[in-house]
Structure 1
Amino acid sequence: MNKPAVTLLFMVICFTACAQYKKYSFQQPKMGSPFNIVIYSVDSVAAENAALATFRMIDTLNEIYSDYLPNSELNNLCASSGTGKWVKVSKPLFAILQKARHCSEISFGSFDVTMSPVIRLWRTARREKRLPDKDSLNEAKKRVSYKYIEVDTGNRCIRLLKSGMQLDLGGIAKGETAQRAYARLCKLGFPYSLVDAGGDIVAGNVPPQVEGWKIAINLPETEELMNQQLLLRNKAVTTSGDLYQYLEVNGVRYSHIIDPTTGWALTNSRNVTVIADNGTDADWLTKACSILTISKALELIKKFPSAEVQIAVLENNTPRFYRSPGFKSYFKQLGDGGH
């Protein structure tokens, strides 16, 4: 006789609990970019404490992954290059380097974390508004190849074979960090969260009354947004393009993304958006798919059954879209549900 009343009471309690969730946003500069953490919580103080703890974890990862901090673990490893020594590294650094080497192997060499000697020449060129010297590029390329990274899984050691090697994790570390940050938030009891690591986004779960996280995508070479947004939950997404970081010489626009096979910056204006199960894959796949031909990029995405890609290309100043079959299923028209 009392079951309907008990069921109704349960429904009322659930509805009240769901209605108490509020969205809290936190931002700090990390890894050269603004890092945003958004948390749905019933407790603002607990949400803030969780965000602060996660930001501290991000600082720790930066001390491992950074190629800017002189005494980072990554730079200390690079100082051993060419000596023949195996270096025991931390679990996070070992995991990301092992992952990066695998990514290079399966992406036809289009993704390569050993590109730093070449990337640094292009950074200087962008500052000085000139093309890099070809002889300097050719010399730098001699120290570049993912095959120069050796991995000892049993002892968690890395050996860099060529003298003067310098690693740059810029194409994978922010996505990896965003994923680890979301995992930390979940461990602290906040699965209804989103982490935005300077555009590398891990969109976690959402409360019952929220349909998903709405993510906007800009068109190539402009801040103008597509008239559709992505609606995501428990997915990661990254978009790569040259909207802000590029060099223009003699009417040619050179991207900040460098082709490992040539050492030259890309000149094709593309925006590449990848949706994946984790931030690490979303991050590096955008870089690889920016470098590969469109057909090769779509072939690469097929190796990840749950990943999708959109490649937006300017053709006669009009964007044209190339997409994997499931990408459009994530679109939500503006004004529809989501946060």
Structure 2
Amino acid sequence: MFLRILIAAILLCNSLQIVAQQKRFSFTESKMGSPFAIIFYCSDSAEASRIAKQSFALTDSFVAIFSDYIDSSELSRLSASAAANALPVKVSPAMWDILLQSKKAYEKSGGAFDITIGPLSKLWRKARKARQFPDKDSVIKTKQLVGFNKIIFDTIHQQVSLTQAGMRLDLGGIAQGYIAQKVMDYLATQNIQQALVNVSGDIAVSGAPPASDGWTVGINIPEEADELLPRKLQLHHKAVTTSGDIYQFIEHGGKRYSHIIDPRTGYGLTSQRNVTVIANDCTSADWLATACSILSIKKAKKLAAQFGAAMLIGENKKGKLRFYSTKNFNTNYK
């Protein structure tokens, strides 16, 4: 019995020593036009650098697939194939995966989340850059190119057809969360148990840092870039993202039109909202935040509940800040 206790004590001491040797490493690179940060705990600096390098390389490989800013990306080539008699296009496993997840998001959100919104995204992106509000006819004409029913999936051969010329896919509301989750999944394969991945506000976390109950994450006050809500989130093995229009919008007729476009109307949102979603994976958190920005508060709460997600909506109405949340959101505060 004494020997068993002694062995257990030795193992416990060794375990505590290993934990004590864990050091915090932080790496940041510019990806997709924004800072991409990876923080994790590891015992060896050379190993940490190798893992970070591989994580950023993995990110680059996904950007080469999902970006609509790169003409040679798989997404751009798929969009270029759009035609009434379009031949099926064989897509990569990653593209197939994100398209299927986008299809589920479209169906569950009742069409509020729609990756075929690409033509409208391009129209409004150009309008914001030129600071010239598009005319009604342009919006109506462009909206005719949008519709998830214009995508045909061949599940047997993993092929996709875009059936209307001028179609354009936009993965902006899901790809960053997807990439953050894939990087977190990779870190787990490298025995990294305590990590945070931040892709321009789409955040995935695994185990809590040493001597803490979770990773501390702040939430922006609606329409404020630098001011945070007083209470902070404390998360582990979760993902969180906030959707809003702090930087990207266009003003017209006394209204602010967000870069988040309602595919059902063709126009950017005019409600001044921040939507924060906490979910089990970052892909879901990303698209849910977008969809819940578009839906009514009642429908947004119902959608979040379907995925077991927690949600906080901060809305600025006539200068007054109001908050709406799911019942489970408060359990994530420090």
2:327 to 325, 328, 337: 325
Deviations 1:30-74 (A, max 9, x none): 122211111111111111110110100111111110111111111
Question: By how many angstroms is 1:191 displaced?
Answer: 2.7
Distance in 1 separating the partners of 2:9 and 2:55: 39
Give yes or no for contact 2:208–2:235 (8 Å, CA) kept in 1: no
Question: Residues 310 and 326 of structure 2 are in contact (CA less than 8 Å); yes or no, is this contact kept in structure 1?
Answer: yes
Tell me the CA shift for residue 11 of structure 1: 2.7
**Mapped contact 2:244–2:275 kept (Cα < 8 A):** yes
Q: What one-letter code is carried by the residue in structure 1 that aligns with 2:142?
A: A
Tell me how far 1:84 sits from its aligned partner: 2.5
Q: Conserved in 1, the CA contact under 8 Å of 2:209 and 2:215?
A: no
Letter matched to residue 31 of structure 1: M
Residues in 1 aligned to 2:157 and 2:212: alpha-carbon distance in whole angstroms: 45
Which of residues 94, 97, 117 is equivalent to 1:115? 117
Out of 174, 183, 186, the position equivalent to 2:188 is 186
Q: 1:250-272 CA distances to partner (integer Å, 9 max, x unpaired)?
A: 43211110111100111100000
Equivalents in 2 of 1:217, 1:142: separation in Å? 36
Q: 1:89 aligns with which of 88, 91, 96?
A: 91
Note if contact 1:65-1:169 (Cα within 8 Å) is conserved in structure 2: yes
Instruction: Identify the residue that residue 9 of structure 1 maps to in structure 2.
Output: 10
1:133 matches 2:135: yes
Report the alpha carbon displacement of residue 244 of structure 1 after superposing the two structures with TM: 1.0
User: Structure 2: which amino acid aligns with 1:289?
Assistant: C
Query: Is the Cα contact below 8 Å between 1:21 and 1:207 reproduced in 2?
Result: no
Unaligned runs of 5+ in 2: none
Q: TM-score, normalised by structure 1?
A: 0.95
Q: What code does the residue aligned with 2:249 have?
A: Y
Question: Given the two structures, how large is their TM-score scaled by the length of structure 2?
Answer: 0.96
**One-letter code aligned to 1:275:** I
CA distance in 2 between counterparts of 1:8 and 1:102 reads 50
* Aligned position for 1:149: 151
* Structure 1 residue 207, shift from structure 2 partner: 4.9
Aligned partner of 1:337 in structure 2 is none
Shift of 1:208: 5.1
Render the CA deviation track for 1:158-217: whole Å, top value 9, x for unaligned. Answer: 011111111110000000000111111111221321111111111112355332111100
Q: How many matched pairs?
A: 331
Deviation at 1:301, TM superposition (A): 1.1
Question: Which amino acid in structure 2 is aligned with residue 294 of structure 1?
Answer: I
Structure 1: 5+ residue stretches without partners: 333-339
Match of 2:61 in 1: 60
Distance in 2 separating the partners of 1:25 and 1:132: 43
Match of 2:266 among 255, 263, 266: 263
Aligned equivalents of 1:186, 1:261: Cα separation in 2: 39
Contact 1:101–1:149 (Cα < 8 Å) also in 2: no
Cα RMSD for the two superposed structures? 1.3
- Give the match's secondary structure for 1:154: coil
Q: Write the distance in 1 (CA, Å) between the matches of 2:87 and 2:303.
A: 34
Aligned partner letter, 1:162? Q
Which of residues 163, 171, 189 in structure 2 aligns to 1:169?
A: 171
The residue aligned with 1:336 is: none
